[in-house]
Amino acid sequence: MKFWRYKIRYIIYAFYAVVILIIIKRISVVSVYNRVQIENIWLENGTTNYEKNERYEQWINEYVKGISRKLGEYGKPAYLNGEEKIKGNEILKKKAVNIILSNKISFQRKLLDIRDPLCKNVTYDIVLPSVSIIIIFHNEAFSVLLRTIYSVLKETPPKLVREIILVDDKSDEEQLQGLLEYYIQTRLPKKVKLLRLQQRQGLVRARLKGAKSASGDVLMFLDAHCEVTKNWLQPLLQRIKDKRNAVVTPIIDNISEETFEYLYNAEPSFFQVGGFSWSGHFTWINIQEIDLQSKTSPISPVRSPTMAGGLFAINRKYFWEIGSYDDQMDGWGGENLEMSFRIWQCGGVLETIPCSRVGHVFRNFLPYKFPMNKDTHGINTARLANVWMDDYKRLFYLHREEYKDMPELIGDVRSRIDLRERLKCKSFKWYLDNVYPEKFIPDENVQAFGKVRVQTKNLCLDNLQRDEEKPYNIGVYECHSKLYPSQYFSMSKSGELRREDVCATVIEDELLNYIFKVNMRGCDEIEHDKEWILTEDGKILHLRTGLCLDATGVHSKEDVIVSLCSDSPDQFWQFDFYGDKINPR
């Protein structure tokens, strides 16, 4: 009997000893790592993965040692040397950002206060709406993501931030797995939350997941490669508090993907707003004249016809009332224009707030693909065209004919059409007339449009697939059987021979003296040299030089010229349409 009593006592003591050892070990972990939030580090089976946590600590410590505190400070450009420079350039080509350099720049680098000086005298309400900041990422560089988070924490009054919701859209980069979770749990405040998606959802559905889990009065969507600046949030929240249906964006500055230089215009009152191309892409445009005239101050909110989509704030309840996102949009692209059109057409306003400035890494390409390599931008834009653009979708489908009348590709949009009807939204013509009156419509209010054919040859004016982001000469090419974008030209009522955003002027050939060619450049860049006259017999005459558009001696794929006006048949041209009528000749 005594034997069993001693044995039981021995077992109990042993059990207590094991428990005490575990407690001591856990206390030692907290002591060594000196962390406030350690409770979630334990594995599901109740034991601690000390080896993995120690490896994370070692990695973080090594990482911190590699940071150069002065590199990139105040937004100055940073550079690498030797082998690091070579590696940085290699990874830049693969990942669209210089990760080697990013890893050497502090997570919490300082930036200059580049706001308009008038902003520094603005006072905001003591009580402002709370905000949920939603950041979506997929295989974002660890250091770039953390720099985004730290800039928000550093430059935002804590009382305004209800939570920062990180939504991982199925990343597979190793650093974004356990290490990221460990870093958040041990080094960031509890308001930073990580939401993992089990399947790749794409930007729209990932943002919807984040929005559904948000509890702040305002939703602030941020890309995962941003750095905010001083007092960036208060102007946005104040505007939403004052105007519930306002959807607001900061001035978005450029952070170089190569050097991480924070680039900004030296004149703080100058900035651009959002536009769009008929091909369905976002563009930057100068503030329209109607909006310049209505500004009462250089820092007044400015209407923006569209938004880039990566950075904006919206009242949380209004976000759901106005239709959130089209959840059938896959991947990335088109969702920003869809939301922009919807906001304006359904009673909201979209504005840029000059006193809020955020830097953004504009990448030259997407460093990842969506499953099955779908053209998500094209499909998503076709969806929005069918719902919001009314008859003007004809101009989009001119560029993307492969999606016209293809519901099996773009999916069912009935629910979005029902939303438009339920919200009693206005027409796209109303949007163009009232929100974007400076948008050029190539087949409305023009003298002529369509293909421009030499009367005696099967040659048409053509942009020859040249880059329209910079000046280029137009040429001729065999006329297509139907109208393609490369051969679409208009003669505006003010005498501009033009395409959507570029107008024709005359320049002398750099190599051949006395040979003059037709050069296309941004219509806003040319003030007095873009007027042409379309004569009744079909000549196209440049007013300043008195020269006529001429195809004499010009072959397909060559630049067209202008020369002294004559009776040469190569100086007579025909448009497909004159006004709203087919070519009468």
Q: Is the pTM of this model over 0.75?
A: yes
Residue 231: predicted pLDDT: 97
Residues found in the chain: 585
Burial 498-510 (b: 16+ CB within 10 A, else e): bbbbbbbbbeeee
Nearest to 500 by CA among 558, 556, 436: 436
The helices-and-strands tally (H runs, E runs) of the chain is: 16, 26
Nearest Cα to Cα of residue 161 among 123, 180, 188, 182: 188
**C-alpha torsion angle, residues 417, 419, 423, 425 (rounded to 10):** -30
Measured over the CA atoms of residue 433, residue 438, residue 439 and residue 442, the dihedral's sign is positive
Q: What is the pLDDT along the chain (585 residues), one digit of tens a residue?
A: 444 454 555 555 555 554 454 444 443 332 223 333 333 333 333 335 777 888 889 989 988 888 988 999 999 999 999 998 989 999 898 888 999 999 999 999 999 999 999 999 999 999 999 999 999 999 999 999 999 999 999 999 999 999 999 999 999 998 999 999 999 999 999 999 999 999 999 999 999 999 999 999 999 999 999 999 999 999 999 999 999 999 999 999 999 999 999 999 888 889 999 999 999 999 999 999 999 999 899 999 999 999 999 999 999 999 999 999 999 998 889 999 999 999 999 999 999 999 999 999 988 887 777 666 788 999 999 999 999 999 999 999 999 999 898 888 899 999 999 999 999 999 999 999 999 999 999 999 999 999 999 988 999 999 999 998 889 999 999 999 999 999 999 999 999 999 999 999 999 876 566 789 999 999 988 877 899 999 999 999 999 999 999 999 999 999 999 999 999 999 999 999 998 655 544
Residue with tokens 């704030």: 313
Beta bridge partners of 221: 134, 312
pLDDT score at 73: 96
The full set of domain ranges for the chain reads 2-65, 446-582
Nearest Cα residue to 338 out of 360, 320, 317, 323:
323
CA distances from 579 to 19, 378, 445 (A): 89, 30, 7
What whole-number distance in Å separates Cα of residue 332 and Cα of residue 195? 19
255: Cβ–Cβ under 8 A, 6 or more apart, which residues?
A: 75, 225, 226, 227, 261, 262, 263, 359, 360, 361, 362
d(CA 504, CA 517): 10
How far is C-alpha 561 from the chain's CA centre?
38
SS3 of the chain: helix, strand, coil, percent, to 5: 35, 25, 40
Phi, psi (5° rounding) for residue 516? -115, 135
Q: Mark residue 176 as left, alpha or beta (left: phi above 0; alpha: psi -120 to 50; beta: remaining).
A: alpha
* CATH 2.30.110.10 is the classification of domain 446-582: no
Cα separation, 213 vs 316, whole angstroms: 11
Whether 515 and 457 have beta carbons less than 8 Å apart is answered as no
Task: Give me the residue label for tokens 């502090």.
Answer: 106
* pLDDT attached to residue 560: 96
Give the separation between CA 404 and CA 382, rounded to whole angstroms.
Answer: 8
Distance (Å, rounded) from C-alpha 491 to C-alpha 399? 20
